[in-house]
Structure 1
Amino acid sequence: MRLRTEQLAAHLAQGPLLPVYLISGDEPLLAQEAADAIRGAARGQGFSERELLHAETGFDWDTVLTEANSLSLFAARKIIELRIPNGKPGDKGSKVLQQYTANPSPDNLLLVITPKLESAATRSKWVKSIETTGAFIQVWPVPPEQLASWIGKRLQQANIQASRQAVDVLADRVEGNLLAAVQEIEKLKLLLPDAEVDAATMSTVVADSARFNVFSLVDKALEGDAQTASRTLRGLRDEGTEATVILWALARELRTLIKAKEALAAGDHLDWVLKNLAVWEKRKGLVKTALKRLSLNQLQQMLRLAGGIDRAIKGMRTANPWDDLGTLTLMFCGRAVLQSANLRLALKD
């Protein structure tokens, strides 16, 4: 079956879980919340152990079947969480997933997490096998015209009374970054637990919390302002911002630019491309500037570096993620960087 994220809670409350779930999408907050909901429901049904697998280059796909067949010393039932960073299991992975879904163990729950799958991938045999045995949850970004409504509902869930103007202020500031919106709402719960939030208060709270903010870093990188972008990155690091949040923001822009470049190469008009990619009106100038400055090859190389940074953050590659984020930021700004041995290692597939 296929489920929308808003259908998931009702599905999980209905009864026994399905043996397999696939979560796919590029909106990290909603994907994370969907995964958390499934894990929580699984724990409530006795799946007390969790095995995490990363299907990256060199991954042994037989590990999935080995884990499925191995007996746990500590728990009767376990979650096997399989993350596929590029969303492409390949022939071997596809066969393993089809084999698993053909005869899933009642003592295991397989949770597969991928980025957004392209249309052709959603019709592949491995996805269809999961749909037949379990559930496929496609996570879609909140459209710009619905963001204020989404934020309003989140504020209500947090028991925060906010005027429509205050909601609009927050929606305008986060520019589609749902994770940032939720972080600001959590901040409001701490700072103003009983107050009604108006537009002026919202502006003050959000501005005070964002002296060095991720959005500014991304904008300066798109603009090509290497000095300010680097200073902002240092400020974020010094203020304790997680490298994962910064990497997500930069990687999201990279994917947008790559999709735009590919569409332009196919003959599409730039304005139509930006509209189709849901680029906010006031950011179109920044995106156009970056598209003129950076080639498709450069953007793809930067995305590969982002993958290397992700592995470093997870401890799967020996490198300082902040140093590599600095390199990525400079590359974003169009500055030449030394191809050090460490950078070449990060760029390897």
Structure 2
Amino acid sequence: MKLNPAQLGKQLQGTLAPVYVVSGDEPLLCQEACDAIRAATRQQGFSERQVFNADASFDWGNLLQAGASLSLFADKRLLELRLPTGKPGDKGTAALLEYLGRPPEDTVLLISVPKLDGSAQKTKWAKALIDGPHSQFVQIWPVDAHQLPQWIRQRMAQAGLTASQEAVDMIAVRVEGNLLAAAQEIEKLKLLAEDGQVDAGTVQAAVADSARFDVFGLIDAALNGEAAHAQRMLEGLRGEGVEPPVILWALARETRLLATIAQQYAQGMPLEKAFSAARPPVWDKRRPLVNKALQRHSAKRWAQLLLDAQRIDAQIKGQAPGDPWSALSLLTLSICGQRLGLASDTGL
């Protein structure tokens, strides 16, 4: 039987199933689902635990032997089977089908597998886990970019925090979809927030010592036209070991945003409306900074800078000649308004 994570908690309050399967590629949510199952087994007296890692050399007979043997230390046991490839092979399929055919009493089997695609779900072993009478199949779906702010808000509420929309959007941008990083940021905010209230300033204070915040500081310096400061920050990031793709992501993201807003403004859209329509929206406190950058270049020029960013991406991947760090420096200076550019630039 299939369960979503929200249904799992209620199911665990009753009689435990002989087999639970947690499937997905989102580490934090999969870990939390497994933790909930482990906690439920402990509460119901499953005091012994055995863990099996089903790598290429795994002897599937060990799983069957563990299921058939009597515990020397406890009346109830939790067996954990970790299947990192999601492919048990012929021997694993046979062992799983045999186990599922007659699951042992007073034993819960927790199986962890990656996300199973359509073809994998049609295999005998997967069908037995998904549709079998003895198993609960928990499918973990990733949180996409549009769902992330709401997920962050719900997570903060669970931690006793109330956040402004600007703070939520700032966290969503900084963690880049990494739920584990988001959860860690929220834990830090619990220590910093006064009376459980979180605003943009609180978020900045929580991440002020991280390299990712320095990347955002680089962006702010470039938008503000602070060429020398931006170059020092770029060199500092390089010295800290931050990879070019991370810096390019931030520069390209901001350049794409500015190119879109500049184009909309050139076509007659009011600037405030363009700020609100942007994805992500431009926060009120950042609008003067973004507006300052917009006045520095035309819509055509912002589009050219976006092409330069694409060229740097090709350099990083080894698909185009040139040094990515030098190109990142030139792109940063160009955003600052310096009359410099990549070799392909014209009309500067």
TM superposition score normalised by structure 2: 0.62
Over 3 Å counting, the alpha-carbon distance change for 1:198 and 1:90 in structure 2 is same
Shift of 1:99: 0.4
8 Å CA contact retained: 1:4, 1:139? yes
Aligned residue number for residue 190 of structure 2: 189
- 1:16 alignment partner, SS class: coil
Shift of 1:10: 1.6
Query: How many Å separate the matches in 1 of 2:149 and 2:209?
Result: 20
Q: Partner amino acid for 1:189?
A: K
State whether structure 2 residue 35 is matched by structure 1 residue 36: yes
Shift of 1:4: 1.1
Shift of 1:187: 0.7
8 Å CA contact retained: 2:48, 2:77? yes
Aligned residue number for residue 167 of structure 1: 168
Shift of 1:201: 2.2
Query: How many Å separate the matches in 1 of 2:316 and 2:24?
Result: 24
Aligned residue number for residue 80 of structure 1: 79
Aligned residue number for residue 102 of structure 2: 103
Structure 2 gaps, min length 5: 217-233, 247-279, 281-305, 320-348
Q: Partner amino acid for 2:113?
A: T
- 2:198 alignment partner, SS class: coil
Aligned residue number for residue 6 of structure 2: 6
Shift of 1:290: 8.6
Over 3 Å counting, the alpha-carbon distance change for 1:54 and 1:200 in structure 2 is same
Aligned residue number for residue 145 of structure 1: 146
Structure 1 stretches of at least 4 aligned residues deviating more than 6 Å after TM superposition: 227-230
8 Å CA contact retained: 2:190, 2:196? no
Query: How many Å separate the matches in 2 of 1:290 and 1:50?
Result: 50
Shift of 1:195: 4.5
Aligned residue number for residue 241 of structure 2: 232
Deviations 1:44-75 (A, max 9, x none): 11111110110001110101001111222211
Query: How many Å separate the matches in 1 of 2:98 and 2:312?
Result: 44
Q: Partner amino acid for 1:101?
A: L
Query: How many Å separate the matches in 2 of 1:204 and 1:32?
Result: 28
State whether structure 2 residue 189 is matched by structure 1 residue 180: no
Percent of matched pairs sharing the same residue: 47
- The correspondence of residues 63-142 of structure 1 with structure 2, limited to 5 A, is 63-131=62-130, 132=132, 133-142=134-143
User: How large is the Cα RMSD of the aligned pairs?
Assistant: 3.1
Over 3 Å counting, the alpha-carbon distance change for 1:103 and 1:230 in structure 2 is farther
Over 3 Å counting, the alpha-carbon distance change for 1:228 and 1:162 in structure 2 is closer
Structure 1 gaps, min length 5: 217-224, 235-249, 251-279, 295-349
Deviations 1:12-62 (A, max 9, x none): 12x101101111111000000000011111111111111011000111010
Q: Partner amino acid for 2:101?
A: A
Shift of 1:198: 1.1
Determine which structure has more spread, i.e. the larger CA radius of gyration. 2
- Number of residue pairs matched by the alignment: 237
Query: How many Å separate the matches in 2 of 1:286 and 1:61?
Result: 50
8 Å CA contact retained: 2:189, 2:202? no
Shift of 1:126: 0.8
Q: Partner amino acid for 2:86?
A: G
Over 3 Å counting, the alpha-carbon distance change for 1:286 and 1:3 in structure 2 is farther
Aligned residue number for residue 210 of structure 1: 210
8 Å CA contact retained: 2:22, 2:139? yes
Q: Partner amino acid for 1:121?
A: A
Aligned residue number for residue 23 of structure 2: 24
Deviations 1:324-345 (A, max 9, x none): xxxxxxxxxxxxxxxxxxxxxx
Over 3 Å counting, the alpha-carbon distance change for 1:179 and 1:285 in structure 2 is farther
- 2:73 alignment partner, SS class: coil
Deviations 1:181-201 (A, max 9, x none): 000111111222525211222
State whether structure 2 residue 199 is matched by structure 1 residue 198: yes
Deviations 1:159-182 (A, max 9, x none): 112111111111111111000000
8 Å CA contact retained: 1:83, 1:112? yes
Q: Partner amino acid for 2:12?
A: L
Query: How many Å separate the matches in 2 of 1:40 and 1:12?
Result: 9
Over 3 Å counting, the alpha-carbon distance change for 1:233 and 1:121 in structure 2 is same
Shift of 1:212: 6.7
